[in-house]
C-alpha cells in the first residue's frame, strides 16, 4: 500500500511559507501584469496586496485576480496614508496568517519578480535580505538622473549619520524572517513614507541581526506615476538626522562612561 500524497512536505530550502506584501496606490496599469509575473516566477510564494483605496480601481482589479487565485489576497484601506502605514498593516496581517518569511516589493515593475529567486537564495544566513541597486552587480534602468542622485546621496547621508553598512537602505525589494519582524518593535515605528525602509534596516542592525544585500536590476516604471514627493524626501531627511544625532549621543555617553571607569581604576591602583 502506498502512502497518500501529503501537503506538508518541507518547503524548498527549508524557508517555510513566504508571502510578498505589495503596496499599491493608483497602479491600475501595473498590478495585474505584476501578479501574473510574480505567480509565474515563484509559484510557491503567496501575495498580499495592500491598496489604499486607489481612485483608479487598482483594488478592484487586484480583487478580481485574487478571486481566481487562492495564493493572492487583498487588503483594502480607506485612504492613502503612506507606504510605511500600508506595510505595517500588511506585515501585521501576514504575521497573523502564520507566514515564516514576509517580503516587500513595488507594484510598478521596478522590482522584477524574476529576480526574487536571488533574494530567496540569500535567506539562509540572513535575517533581512535587501535587493540592492548600489552593490557590485546592482544597476538601474531608465532612472532619471535626479532620482539617482537623490538615492545615492540619501544613502551616503544615511550611512554616514547612522553608521550602518547598508549600501541601499531605502530599497523596497526585501525579505524579512518572521523572527526579525517580531524582534524590531514594529509598533514603535512612526515613519510614514519611504524612510520606513531605512528605519527597518536600522532597527534590524541595532537588534544585532544579519542584513545581506544582493544585487538587483531596478527598472524605472513605464506606466503610472511615482508617488515620491518633496514631503516624502523631507520626512526622510528629518528623521535620519534625528536618529543620527541620537546615535552620536549614545556613542558620546558610552565614551564618557569608559573614561570615567578608567579614571576610577587608576585612582584605585594609586591608592
Ligand atoms: N498602499 C500604498 N501604496 C503606496 C503609497 N505610496 C506609494 N505606494 C506604492 O509603493 C510602491 C512604490 O511607490 P512608487 O511611486 O513607485 O515610488 P518610486 O519607485 O520611489 O518612484 C508602488 O507600488 C506604489 O503604488 C501609499 O501611500 N499607500
Ligand atoms: Mg516605483
Over the stretch 54-91, which tens digit does the pLDDT of each residue have?
999 999 999 999 999 999 999 999 999 999 999 999 99
Model confidence at 3, pLDDT cuts 50, 70, 90, reads: very low
Q: From the CA of 86, give the closest atom in ligand 1.
A: 1
Is 70 exceeded by the pLDDT of residue 265? yes
User: Domains plus CATH for the chain?
Assistant: 13-222 (3.90.550.10)
Question: Of how many residues is the chain composed?
Answer: 271
Nearest ligand (C-alpha, residue 81): 1
Residue 226: CB within 6 Å of ligand 1? yes
Nearest to 23 by CA among 71, 69, 88: 88
- What is the structure's pLDDT at 268? 83
Please give the pLDDT value at position 6. 43
Note whether 91 and 177 are within 8 A (CB).
no
Q: Residue 5 has what pLDDT? A: 43
Centre of ligand 2 from the C-alpha of residue 85, in Å: 17
CA–centroid distance, 128 to ligand 1, in Å, is 21
Q: Is 58 in the pocket of ligand 1 (CB under 6 A)?
A: no
**Could you tell me whether strands 211-215 and 46-51 are parallel, antiparallel, or unpaired per DSSP bridges?**
unpaired
CA angle 168, 91, 239 (to 5 degrees): 45
Of 114, 125, 19, 120, which Cα lies nearest the Cα of 73? 19
The pTM (predicted TM-score) of the whole model is 0.90
What are the tens digits of pLDDT across the range 121-172? Answer: 999 999 999 999 999 999 999 999 999 999 999 999 999 999 999 999 999 9
- CA Rg, the chain, in Å? 21
Q: How high is the pLDDT of residue 13? A: 53
Written as nine digits, the cell of 81 is: 496614508
- Span from the CA of 187 to the centroid of ligand 2 (angstroms): 26
Task: Report in angstroms the alpha-carbon separations of 187 from 77, 140, 171, 197, 236.
Answer: 18, 33, 21, 14, 19
What count of other Cβ atoms lies within 10 Å of the Cβ of residue 61? 22
CA–centroid distance, 254 to ligand 1, in Å, is 39
Atom of ligand 1 nearest to the CA of 26: 25
Find out whether the beta carbon of 104 lies less than 6 Å from any atom of ligand 1. no
Pick the residue whose CA is nearest to atom 25 on ligand 1.
Answer: 24
- At 202 the three-state DSSP class reads helix
* DSSP category for residue 115: G
Q: Tell how far the Cα of 24 is from the centroid of ligand 2, in angstroms.
A: 10
Amino acid at each position: 500500500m502506498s502512502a497518500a500524497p501529503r501537503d506538508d512536505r518541507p518547503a524548498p530550502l527549508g524557508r517555510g511559507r513566504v508571502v510578498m506584501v505589495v503596496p499599491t496606490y493608483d497602479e491600475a496599469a501595473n498590478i495585474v501584469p505584476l501578479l501574473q509575473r510574480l505567480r509565474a516566477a515563484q509559484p510557491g510564494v503567496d501575495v498580499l496586496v495592500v491598496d489604499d483605496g486607489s481612485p483608479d480601481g487598482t483594488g478592484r482589479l487586484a480583487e478580481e485576480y485574487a478571486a481566481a487565485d487562492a495564493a493572492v489576497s487583498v487588503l483594502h484601506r480607506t485612504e492613502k496614508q503612506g507606504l510605511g502605514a500600508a506595510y505595517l498593516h500588511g506585515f501585521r496581517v501576514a504575521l497573523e496568517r502564520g507566514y515564516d518569511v514576509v517580503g516587500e516589493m513595488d507594484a510598478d515593475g521596478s522590482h522584477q519578480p524574476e529576480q526574487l529567486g536571488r533574494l530567496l537564495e540569500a535567506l539562509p544566513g540572513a535575517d533581512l535580505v535587501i535587493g540592492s541597486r548600489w552593490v557590485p552587480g546592482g544597476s538601474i534602468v531608465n532612472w532619471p538622473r535626479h532620482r539617482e542622485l537623490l538615492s545615492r546621496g540619501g544613502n551616503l547621508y544615511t550611512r554616514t549619520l547612522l553608521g550602518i553598512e547598508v549600501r541601499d537602505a531605502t530599497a523596497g525589494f526585501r525579505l524579512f524572517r518572521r523572527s526579525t519582524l517580531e524582534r524590531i518593535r514594529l509598533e514603535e515605528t512612526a515613519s510614514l513614507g519611504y524612510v520606513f525602509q531605512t528605519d527597518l534596516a536600522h532597527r534590524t542592525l541595532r537588534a544585532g541581526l544579519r542584513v545581506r544585500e544582493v544585487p538587483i536590476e531596478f527598472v524605472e516604471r513605464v506606466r503610472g506615476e511615482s508617488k515620491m514627493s518633496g514631503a516624502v524626501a523631507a520626512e526622510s531627511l528629518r528623521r535620519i538626522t534625528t536618529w543620527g544625532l541620537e546615535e552620536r549621543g549614545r556613542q558620546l555617553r558610552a565614551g564618557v562612561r569608559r573614561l570615567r571607569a578608567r579614571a576610577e581604576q587608576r585612582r584605585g591602583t594609586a591608592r
